[in-house]
Amino acid sequence: MRQLLKTMRPKQWAKNVFIFVGIFFDGKLFVLPLLVRAFAAFVVFCLVSSAIYLINDLADMARDRLHPVKRNRPLASGALAPITAKIAAIAILVICLPAAFYLDTIFGVVTLIYAMVMVLYSFYLKHFVIVDVMTVATGFVLRVFGGTAVVHVSRFSPWLYLCTILLALFIAISKRRNELHLLSDNANNHRSSLQEYTFEFLDDMTSLVTATAVTAYSFYTFSAPNLPANHSMMLTIPLVLYVIFRYLYLVRVKNLGGAPEDIILGDKPLLIGSGLFVLIAAIVLYTSGLVV
């Protein structure tokens, strides 16, 4: 059970906080029934994503053995039997997909689409240059969309979907850069799409995505209809810049980025910057008479 839980990657459940983006930015975080629904959706997405991780590791066992870090995963190292992972993945999906539809029909459809896209990614899409990182970004957008559906948002800005796509691309591209750095000449044996990437190309992609993300978020802060008329949400822009710059520093200077959840949860300045962003955004949203 310990090895199975490790393969389910509970650390990466942190990614599913994107489920709460809808309820937070719609000004309904303190509406208890909706918060309970959002939390239930979070739990469902955590378990479904864990089933996908099991499937992904089953598909990647041979390639993971060539990776300096991933070769220690339970399936790649032989600590977990493949049949156990298969049974667990099927059981989780059989239970959680109907639960998603029980919570909300649209949320159920989004969860099903997420599972299908991620299975395609595990077996097929991740081997295609550019398509691989865009598929990862799609997973994050589906999390946000599922979160907005389950709480029936009424004033959620479409700008935030674009910001989510760009942020997810930024993280995925950084991860590819780290893999290229770690694997060097053995990159193609681990993942065929890596041979199509170069540091220069990935850095150009990062620059484009970063600039566009900051611009998109800035447009959101002064154009979204549910924000205060005094544009006080613009106070969060410097914090967004700091968090992005800090992440870039950790990727480019410290050669991190292979495990985004470890960077986000393990770097105190990044945590503080992110926490201040959430705090100021909450003050702006929830002290301006916008909560319904």
Q: What tens-digit pLDDT sequence spans the chain (292 residues)? A: 889 999 898 988 988 999 999 999 998 999 999 999 999 999 999 999 999 999 988 988 887 787 777 788 888 888 888 999 999 999 999 999 999 999 999 999 999 999 999 999 988 998 899 999 999 999 999 999 999 999 999 889 999 999 999 999 999 999 888 888 877 655 555 566 788 889 999 999 999 999 999 999 999 998 888 888 888 999 999 999 999 999 999 988 888 766 788 888 888 999 999 999 999 999 999 987 544 4
What is the total count of domains within the chain? Answer: 1
Determine the pLDDT at residue 291: 43
Q: State the residue range of the domain holding 236.
A: 2-286
Name the token pair of 40.
């239930």
CA distance 35 to 55: 30
Residue 183 lies in a domain: yes
Residue 224 lies in a domain: yes
Determine the pLDDT at residue 48: 96
What's the helix, strand, coil split of the chain in %, to 5?
A: 80, 0, 20
Residue 89 to residues 79, 96, 189: CA-CA distances in angstroms?
A: 17, 11, 26
CB-CB contact of 247 with 270 (8 Å): yes
CB-CB contact of 88 with 4 (8 Å): yes
CA distance 169 to 2: 32
What type of residue sits at position 111?
T
Running DSSP on this structure, what letter comes out for residue 287? Answer: T
Determine the pLDDT at residue 45: 96
Residue 171 lies in a domain: yes
Residue 195 lies in a domain: yes
Residue 274 lies in a domain: yes
Residue 292 lies in a domain: no
pTM: 0.89
CA distance 245 to 236: 14
